[in-house]
Each structure stands twice: as structure tokens, then as C-alpha cells.
């Protein structure tokens, strides 16, 4: 059975800190790993990772995938209060029309002043 | 298992067919959601139900018709779909809508429209 585990479950940091969120997975026929940021409405897409060792970057956020050790990390540098959200990791596995997306339960990040 | 189940897991239908997707959550949540995940596109929110009442419809075409008979069950009725409607349809639930509670996702229904 496909599984995605995120850690920590929740985190409180001060503005300006750097945080690292973890996502480990077990999936049959890995296709991609996705990171989402969830605030009050639908999760918003952050990154899709398919290849090991290639860092994806968007502003203060970056992410990298290790397909050998089956995990990914999401880094946020110089955190701001607007980064407070739940960060979801999801892994797509399977082949063709049999693929599915398995979500972790998220890491709740709170950034305080 | 996240406590959210979806059936069927895969569905192939013609453009003139009528079918329904089913979602059930066993978490005691009051909010349920339908999302569409198309290839190479961000996750799209379709509908939100809070305490069985529809609170959000994100300009979804009328060929998609949701139904929420109780807080544990959510359906998506499909009729006269188009090939571009082929996608992964995800159901999620959370304790209530409009808060920052984690949404728990089901495994999705992979829909192919021929």
C-alpha cells in the first residue's frame, strides 16, 4: 500500500528562521512527488519533482528529491508570517490510467513575529 | 488509509454516458470537497460542502453535478462529459470548511472520457 509520511506534524518558528519540512514515501512505480501549500481554501501547487538531486527553487522556497532514500525536503528561508499554512506532500505512483495520488497528512507551520 | 474512500478507482465512459463518483469519509468531518487534477495542471477545487450545504462552486460546468446527502457522503454525478474532462478526481474532507484544518484526501478516481 502506498504511504506518505510527513514530519514534523507541526512547527512554530520566529519570523526570519529557516525551516525544513520532510516527506518520506513508499509507492509502487513512482512517477512524481508534489508539494502544496494549504491555507484556507484549496491547496496551491508549489513544486513537482521527478528526478533525484535536482533542486527546484521558487523565491525563498526550495525542494529536492532523493529517489534512492525515498524522501523529499521542502526548505523555506527567511520565513514570514504569510508562510503560515499546512504544507502537503503527495506522491503519484502507478502506471498509465492506474496511477493515483497519495497525500501525507501535512506539516502545520506557524510563523510568529 | 486516510479514512476517505472513493469509488470507483478507475472509470472509462463515453460522452453520452451518465455515471457517478462516490466519496465516503469515516473521520466525523463536516466539510467535503471535490477536486480535479489534470495532467500538468495545478489541483483545481470544484465544489465545497460544509454541513451538507454547498458553499462553493468554482465555475464548474453543469455537466458535473454534486450531491451531499449527509456529512459522510459526497457524490459527483457526471453526464455528457467531454474528453478534456479526463482527469483524476479527488475527494477530501476536513473538520469544517474555511479553516486551516488539514484536508484528508481520498485516493482519487481516474476518469477517462472517450
Answer whether A39's CB lies under 8 Å from A106's CB: no
- A93-105 mean pLDDT: 71
In this predicted structure, what is the pLDDT of residue B2? 62
Give the CA distances from residue B76 to residues B10, B42, B67, B94, B111, in Å, rounded to whole numbers and listed in that order: 14, 20, 6, 18, 12
What is chain B's mean pLDDT, rounded? 88
- A68-89 mean pLDDT: 96
Compute the distance between CA of residue A65 and CA of residue A83 in angstroms, rounded to an integer.
21
With 80 as the cut, is the pLDDT of residue A95 above it?
no
**Higher pLDDT, residue A62 or A43:** A62
With 80 as the cut, is the pLDDT of residue A99 above it?
no
With 80 as the cut, is the pLDDT of residue A40 above it?
no
A81 contacts in B (CB within 8 Å)?
A: none
What is chain A's mean pLDDT, rounded? 90
pLDDT band, residue A11 (cuts 50/70/90): very high
Inter-chain CB pairs, A–B, below 8 Å:
55
> Which residues of A make CB contacts under 8 Å with B?
1, 36, 38-45, 85-86, 88, 90, 97-103, 105-106, 108
Grid coordinates 478507475 are at which residue? B10
B39 contacts in A (CB within 8 Å)?
A: none
A70-102 b/e (C-beta count within 10 Å ≥ 16 → b): ebbbbebeebeeebbbbbbbbbbbbeeeebbbb
**Stated length of chain B:** 114
B98 contacts in A (CB within 8 Å)?
A: 40-41
With 80 as the cut, is the pLDDT of residue A85 above it?
yes
pLDDT in tens, B45-85: 899 898 888 888 888 999 999 999 999 999 999 999 999 99
**Higher pLDDT, residue A57 or B108:** A57
B105 contacts in A (CB within 8 Å)?
A: 90, 101, 103
- Give the residue from A81, A87, A86, A78 showing the smallest Cα distance to A112: A81
With 80 as the cut, is the pLDDT of residue B101 above it?
no
In this predicted structure, what is the pLDDT of residue B107? 82
Beta carbons within 8 Å of B87's beta carbon, 6+ residues apart:
B36, B37, B38, B39, B111
Tell me how many degrees the CA angle A28-B27-B70 measures, rounded to the nearest 5.
Answer: 115
In this predicted structure, what is the pLDDT of residue A93? 80
Beta carbons within 8 Å of A59's beta carbon, 6+ residues apart:
none
Compute the distance between CA of residue B86 and CA of residue B72 in angstroms, rounded to an integer.
26
**Higher pLDDT, residue A97 or B111:** B111
**Stated length of chain A:** 113
In this predicted structure, what is the pLDDT of residue A42? 66
Compute the distance between CA of residue A77 and CA of residue B108 in angstroms, rounded to an integer.
33
Beta carbons within 8 Å of B77's beta carbon, 6+ residues apart:
B18, B19, B20, B64, B65, B66, B67
Mutation pick from B100, B104, B113 vs chain A, by most beta carbons of A within 10 Å, is: B100
State the first-to-last Cα distance of chain B, in angstroms, to the nearest integer: 31
Grid coordinates 483524476 are at which residue? B88
Mutation pick from A92, A97, A104, A105 vs chain B, by most beta carbons of B within 10 Å, is: A97
Q: Give me the sheet containing B73-79, strands edge to edge.
A: B4-7, B18-25, B73-79, B64-70
In this predicted structure, what is the pLDDT of residue A97? 54
> Which residue of chain A is at minimal alpha-carbon distance from B33?
A42
pLDDT band, residue B42 (cuts 50/70/90): low
Contact between chains at A101 and B33 (C-beta distance less than 8 A): no
Q: Which of B33, B37, B99 sits opposite A101 (nearest CB)?
A: B37
Amino acid at each position: 500500500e502506498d504511504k506518505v509520511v510527513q514530519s514534523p506534524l507541526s512547527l512554530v518558528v520566529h519570523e526570519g528562521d529557516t525551516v525544513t519540512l520532510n516527506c518520506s514515501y513508499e509507492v509502487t512505480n513512482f512517477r512524481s512527488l508534489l508539494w502544496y501549500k494549504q491555507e484556507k481554501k484549496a491547496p496551491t501547487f508549489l513544486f513537482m519533482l521527478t528526478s533525484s538531486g535536482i533542486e527546484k527553487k521558487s523565491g525563498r522556497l526550495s525542494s529536492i528529491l532523493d529517489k534512492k532514500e525515498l524522501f523529499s525536503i521542502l526548505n523555506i528561508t527567511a520565513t514570514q508570517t504569510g508562510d503560515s499554512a499546512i504544507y502537503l506532500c503527495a506522491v503519484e505512483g502507478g502506471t498509465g490510467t492506474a496511477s493515483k495520488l497519495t497525500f501525507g497528512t501535512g506539516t502545520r507551520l506557524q510563523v510568529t513575529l | 488509509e486516510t479514512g476517505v474512500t472513493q469509488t470507483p478507482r478507475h472509470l472509462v465512459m463515453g460522452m453520452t454516458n451518465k455515471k457517478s463518483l462516490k466519496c465516503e469519509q469515516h473521520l466525523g468531518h463536516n466539510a467535503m470537497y471535490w477536486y480535479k487534477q489534470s495532467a500538468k495542471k495545478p489541483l483545481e477545487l470544484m465544489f465545497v460542502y460544509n454541513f451538507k450545504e454547498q458553499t462553493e462552486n468554482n465555475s464548474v460546468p453543469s455537466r458535473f453535478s454534486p450531491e451531499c446527502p449527509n456529512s459522510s457522503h459526497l457524490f459527483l454525478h457526471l453526464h455528457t462529459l467531454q474528453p478534456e474532462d479526463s482527469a483524476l478526481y479527488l475527494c477530501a474532507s476536513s473538520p469544517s470548511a474555511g479553516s486551516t484544518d488539514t484536508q484528508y484526501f481520498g485516493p482519487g478516481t481516474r476518469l477517462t472520457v472517450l
